[in-house]
Amino acid sequence: MKNLYQINKWWIITTSILYLSIIGMIIGGLFQAVLGVIQLISFGIYIFNWEKIATPLKPYFIIYGILISLLVPYYCFVSSDVFLNTLIGYSGILAFYFLFLSYKQHKHISI
């Protein structure tokens, strides 16, 4: 569980750099999709190790799970224009939210 924060951090940095590059919108979008899968797997690992999660962070992990469970079906049923416009915004916000959660959990484990 200690490495989940580092993996997440470097994928977010890489995705952000790609979005800022000239040809990065396409590649950044692909990396953001991979980042989403990595974060879902990481979230699953946190859920399976629920007893090791810091008690103050547990409600925030639950909120993340609820938001993801609402957002994934939304992306499955919307048109491509709406999908593209909201993909970057909502997914990016959730990616940084999960980065914050994994950082706080990493600090809790390191203490």
Burial class of residue 109, CB neighbours in 10 A (0-12, 13-18, 19+) = middle
pLDDT bin (cut points 50, 70, 90) of residue 94 is very high
Which pLDDT score is estimated for 26?
77
Tell me: pLDDT of 82 over 70.
no
Domain boundaries, the chain: 2-110
**Close Cβ partners of 14 (under 8 Å, ≥ 6 residues apart):** 31
